[in-house]
Amino acid sequence: MILRTLIFLIFANTLISEISFIDRIAIIVDEGIIMESELNEALENTVKNFEESGERLPPREILFSRVTERLIMDEILLQKGEKFGIRISDQELNESLVRYAEEDGLSLQELKKKIEGENNSFKDFRESLKKEMIIRRVQSGLVRPKIIVSDQELLNYIDSAEGQNLISIEYKINQILLKNDSDEENQSKALEVIKEINNGLSFSEATKKYSSLFNNGDNGNLDWRTKSNIPTLFVDHLNKMKKMEVYGPIKSGAGLHLLQLEDIRGETIQIESQTLVQHILIEESEIRSEKQSKDLINELHERQSKGEEMSILARVYSDDPGSKLDGGKLDWAPEGIYDKTFEKVMMETKIGEVSKPFKSAFGWHFLKVLDRREKNISDERLKDKAFGILFQRKYREQLQNTLEEIRSEAFVDIKISS
């Protein structure tokens, strides 16, 4: 999957010493060039992708036009990335490589081995991914500021038939397909796999080890789907399945299926525990040592305990610009929002009580828990989901318009023909 999406750029930096012909400029794009070797590599890789997918190869002229336009657009965007000062750090690149490997069910080393096993260079693959990341970042920077989703659009979408479908329950299902020569072998293998999973083997590892789907390059996971988009064979079993447990085997014409219901989301009401808190923060700085900061927070804590208003003390002394003007009062927040130390103290403090002074990653604090509540956030989650759908829809439309616009503004001279 990931290899196909990036194959276009894998050999964009082919070494001159490896070229067995006199290379020449194929296309001039503004201040950059595309060499004939790059164009030929892209054409060959595109033909290879068509052959592997079994799709019908378009006529040479159409194929040439598509490939050259892709290379031209990539060059335009990479040049803009250079002008915008976009840089991809080694850490960002390595994290992306790990994510891409995981999407294919591989470790980073397994991905490297797979690429090199196909006589490709992992170094070139890494560089092609870096270029792809720059291109996407440029596209995002050009397009996102132009997109607006109004509150009315959100409400209209949620009220539409498509929007109402969002409320439907969705299931995330993983599967292992056992496909051998006989039903007896499949049944025996299924019992063996179930036993291994019950003894501690993770479902994902069992998928890598046993599933025919995984061996064919597809891990078989169904991701998030409503009942209408789940194979009919599995639908009747949904109500019997428990989250994260192995279910099956289920027999089909393809073999035996073992399923795992990873998660459910949708119609169920989503309740979130939230806390309303007030605090004072004293930071360490060049003009205030750690001891001075600690002494000050202790002094303020004592003054508050003797009756001074915490809100007044916060306005005068707190170093938190986000809450200082509001007397140290923070917004309602669920667990997982704040610094771990801050959150631990907050959760241990009862409503109406003031904590002792403590130190977090940001400095010295003391806090007061004003209230706690359980809030139904189902509508908010629905709006977030609707916003994401509308945003992505507008993004795709605006991206196409933007690409056409910058393509028309670029100087392009194609020096060779198909």
Tell whether 110 and 184 lie within a shared domain.
Answer: no
Q: What confidence category does residue 292 fall into, taking pLDDT thresholds of 50, 70 and 90?
A: very high
Tell whether 22 and 115 lie within a shared domain.
Answer: yes
CB-based contacts of 262, cutoff 8 Å, min separation 6: 172, 173, 174, 243, 244
CB-based contacts of 143, cutoff 8 Å, min separation 6: 395, 398, 399, 402
CB-based contacts of 335, cutoff 8 Å, min separation 6: 273, 343, 347
Q: Which residue has the higher pLDDT, 266 or 17?
A: 266
Q: What is the CATH number of the domain that holds 20?
A: 1.10.4030.10
Tell whether 70 and 95 lie within a shared domain.
Answer: yes
Q: Is the pLDDT reported for residue 53 higher than 60?
A: yes
Q: Please give the residue range of the domain that contains residue 368.
A: 271-376
Tell whether 42 and 9 lie within a shared domain.
Answer: yes
Reported pTM: 0.52
Q: Which residue has the higher pLDDT, 19 or 384?
A: 384
CB-based contacts of 179, cutoff 8 Å, min separation 6: 186, 212, 254, 255, 256
Tell whether 37 and 133 lie within a shared domain.
Answer: yes
Q: How many domains does the chain have?
A: 3
State the amino acid at position 207 in one-letter form: T
Predicted pLDDT of residue 131: 94
Q: What confidence category does residue 268 fall into, taking pLDDT thresholds of 50, 70 and 90?
A: low
Cα separation of 8 and 38, whole Å?
10
State the amino acid at position 128 in one-letter form: S
Reported as a single tens digit per residue, the pLDDT across 200-244 is: 888 888 888 888 776 544 566 778 887 778 888 888 888 788 888
Tell whether 348 and 304 lie within a shared domain.
Answer: yes
Q: Is the pLDDT reported for residue 290 higher than 60?
A: yes
Q: What percent of the chain has pLDDT over 70?
A: 91
Q: What confidence category does residue 17 fall into, taking pLDDT thresholds of 50, 70 and 90?
A: very low
Predicted pLDDT of residue 5: 43
Predicted pLDDT of residue 243: 86
Q: Is the pLDDT reported for residue 299 higher than 90?
A: yes
Look at residue 163 and tell me if it is in a domain.
no
Q: Is the pLDDT reported for residue 19 higher than 60?
A: no
Q: Is the pLDDT reported for residue 355 higher than 80?
A: yes
Q: Is the pLDDT reported for residue 168 higher than 80?
A: no
Tell whether 288 and 218 lie within a shared domain.
Answer: no
Reported as a single tens digit per residue, the pLDDT across 112-149 is: 999 999 888 999 999 999 999 999 999 999 999 999 99
Q: Is the pLDDT reported for residue 166 higher than 80?
A: no
* Least reliable range by pLDDT among 54-58, 83-87, 275-279: 54-58
Look at residue 11 and tell me if it is in a domain.
yes
Predicted pLDDT of residue 302: 97
Look at residue 360 and tell me if it is in a domain.
yes
Q: Looking at 96, 130, 145, which one is the last position of a domain?
A: 145
Give the SS3 label for residue 358: strand
